[in-house]
Amino acid sequence: MSEGIIKAANLTKSFGETNAVDHLNLDIQKGELYGLVGPDGAGKTTTMRLLAAIMDATSGDASVAGHSILSEGELIKEKIGYMSQRFGLYEDLTVMENIIFYADIYEVPGKERAARTERLLGFSNLTPFKDRLAGKLSGGMKQKLGLACALIHTPQVLFLDEPTNGVDPVSRRDFWKILYGLLKEGVTIMVSTAYLDEAERCTRIGLMHKGRILIEDVPKNVRNSLHQPMIEVWSDDARSSVDLVKNLGGVTSVSLYGDRLHIMVEKKVPAAEIIANLKRLGIDVKDYRDILPSLEDVFISMVEK
């Protein structure tokens, strides 16, 4: 295996006839913020559980921080922080008591605890709430407390499974600020998300579907990977006209965004010709413009293919 701090070779996990993770290959370097992006059921959580050595692989291998998931799972757990979708906070304990509890689990030396705890409380802006019961915290605060608990033993690698799912936009933004701070300190972060706007914040992403990585690169390169022009069309008929537009000559894919259609067209077909055909079909076109494909456009196009 290469020098990547997270490495997978043909990693596979099967449940009966279904491959939740299907011959997955990864090579993530130290200091990356890698985004595993895809909808529910894509295999993101299973991948993270395999890499965190809390689930056995069906076949293949992977290493994290230089240790094999097949034979050195306990060594891996000492070097990683893992925050699941339902992180195990104890709601009848205070913020401070939760952090102390996880410090006990990770056997953090007593002489280091006070400084680490104070730093994590400040880092996550939880100092004013250290005596509040975890059950009384907002969703965003619970996520930040979960992150503080996962960091108490200063891990080299941090696995975050959809950490901002169901969290309000302001708390999501604050959470990502904390992640950027960790990157500056050299922590390698792997985060799974179904939010494609969050994927844009990662240094590199892998679009995942049915246990496989469809494409992997920096977000800008993924957006530019289709090599086909796209137009955005505003119309009150957007929702009802998707199927009609899909069947137009020169159109390769269509995505719906509220009152807008993202229409990918063949290179040799002028946008004006597409618009004229939309109007011919009786679709009310208010305006249109040329755009670059979004990550969602890329994902939808690849899945359809």
Residue 292 has pLDDT above 90, yes or no: no
Are residues 226 and 57 in contact, defined by beta-carbon separation less than 8 angstroms? no
Architecture of domain 6-217: 3-Layer(aba) Sandwich (3.40)
Residue-wise pLDDT tens digits, 275-287? 999 999 999 999 9
Calpha distance 141→198 (Å, rounded):
19
CATH architecture for residues 226-304: 2-Layer Sandwich (3.30)
pLDDT, averaged across the chain: 92
pTM for the whole thing? Answer: 0.86
CA 66 to chain centre: 23
pLDDT at 1: 38
Q: C-alpha distances in angstroms, 202 versus 24, 67, 141, 188, 198?
A: 20, 25, 22, 12, 7
Question: Which residue(s) pair with 167 in the sheet?
Answer: none
What percent of the chain is predicted at pLDDT more than 90? Answer: 70
Evaluate if residue 2 carries a pLDDT over 60.
no
Average pLDDT score over residue span 145-170: 91
Is the pLDDT reported for residue 75 higher than 50? yes
Give the pLDDT confidence score for residue 3 in this predicted structure: 66
pLDDT at 251 over 50: yes
Model confidence at 167: pLDDT above 60: yes
Q: What would the pLDDT profile of 20-73 be if each residue is shown by its tens digit? A: 999 999 999 999 999 999 989 999 999 999 999 999 999 999 999 999 999 999
Mean pLDDT, residues 176-188 taken together = 92
In the chain, where the domains are located: 6-217, 226-304
Backbone angles phi, psi at 86, to 5 degrees: -120, 75
Mean per-residue pLDDT, 206-222:
95
pLDDT of residue 206: 96
pLDDT-derived band at 224 (thresholds 50, 70, 90) equals confident
Tell me the two tokens of residue 170. 């302001």
Residue 97 has what pLDDT?
Answer: 96
Give the residue-averaged pLDDT of 217-232.
91
